[in-house]
Amino acid sequence: MHDIEPFFKWRDNYVASEDKRSPFYGRAYSEFQFSEKIYNYYIHPQWDNFGSDTLYIKILFADYEKGFAVLELIGEWNDTIGNDVMFLKRDLIDPMVDEGIFRFILLNDNVLNFHGSDDCYYEEWYDDIKEEDGWICILNTLKHVHEEMNETQLGYFVNFGEHFNDIDWRLMTPKLLYLKVNMLINGEVKKLT
């Protein structure tokens, strides 16, 4: 896992540690010192810790004018034992909502497991953004991760599933990805390339 870096091709457009409105503003990174672990496995030092022991994140892009952000995750999303969604909501999402972000794209390509608990924090998150026509969308969930999210009934508050899988977001600009996801959520069938 130590060689899986957060996606870096959008760094010319946005760097969270240089954004004064970001929860990670001013954070310094090492290219060579590996200190964060998921279980016994070191992860690349560019990932950000937000309080979870098993789930790490990178804010890849934030557009305050349009009100959306793209977040990439890695690890095990464990609400059962670690209450990861609480840390995510309190330490990352709440400050972003306060700064005007109300649409969230979560890239789950590297989320290897999901252990759900209840949907209270997801409901609270949704309630915080729904008046702004906000949404939460999780892209590219693994099949077993999708099944566990379904069992936790996250679909009431979070968009995920087959329509949001197999999206090759790495070939898109952040704004094109946002447009595609927004169109999928709103049921529009235009094809974006």
- Domain holding 51, by residue range, is 16-185
Q: Tell me what the pLDDT averaged over the chain comes to.
A: 93
- Residue 83 domain-assigned (yes or no): yes
Is the pLDDT reported for residue 2 higher than 80?
no
pLDDT digits (tens, 9 = 90+) for 83-106: 999 999 999 999 999 999 999 999
- Do 167 and 184 meet the contact criterion of CB atoms below 8 Å apart? no
Residue 188: its pLDDT value, please? 66
Question: Strands (DSSP E) along 141-187, which ranges?
Answer: none
Is 190 buried (19+), middle (13-18) or exposed (0-12) by CB count in 10 A?
Answer: exposed
Reduce the DSSP state of residue 18 to 3 states and report it: helix
Is the pLDDT reported for residue 70 higher than 80?
yes
Residue 1: its pLDDT value, please? 61
159 forms beta bridges with 137
Question: Mean pLDDT across the stretch 112-134?
Answer: 95
Residue 193: its pLDDT value, please? 38
Residue 192: its pLDDT value, please? 43
- Residue 109 domain-assigned (yes or no): yes
Is 90 buried (19+), middle (13-18) or exposed (0-12) by CB count in 10 A?
Answer: middle
- Residue 130 domain-assigned (yes or no): yes
- Residue 4 domain-assigned (yes or no): no
- Do 112 and 138 meet the contact criterion of CB atoms below 8 Å apart? no
- Residue 151 domain-assigned (yes or no): yes
Question: Mean pLDDT across the stretch 128-136?
Answer: 96
- Residue 8 domain-assigned (yes or no): no
Residue 191: its pLDDT value, please? 45
State the CATH number of the domain containing residue 173: 3.30.750.24
- Residue 91 domain-assigned (yes or no): yes
Q: Does the model's pTM come out above 0.85?
A: yes
Is the pLDDT reported for residue 190 higher than 70?
no
* Residue 74: closest CA among 89, 90, 88, 54: 54
Is the pLDDT reported for residue 72 higher than 60?
yes
More confident residue, 119 or 193: 119
Please give the tally of structural domains in the chain. 1
Q: How confident is the model at residue 187 (pLDDT cuts 50, 70, 90)?
A: confident
More confident residue, 4 or 128: 128
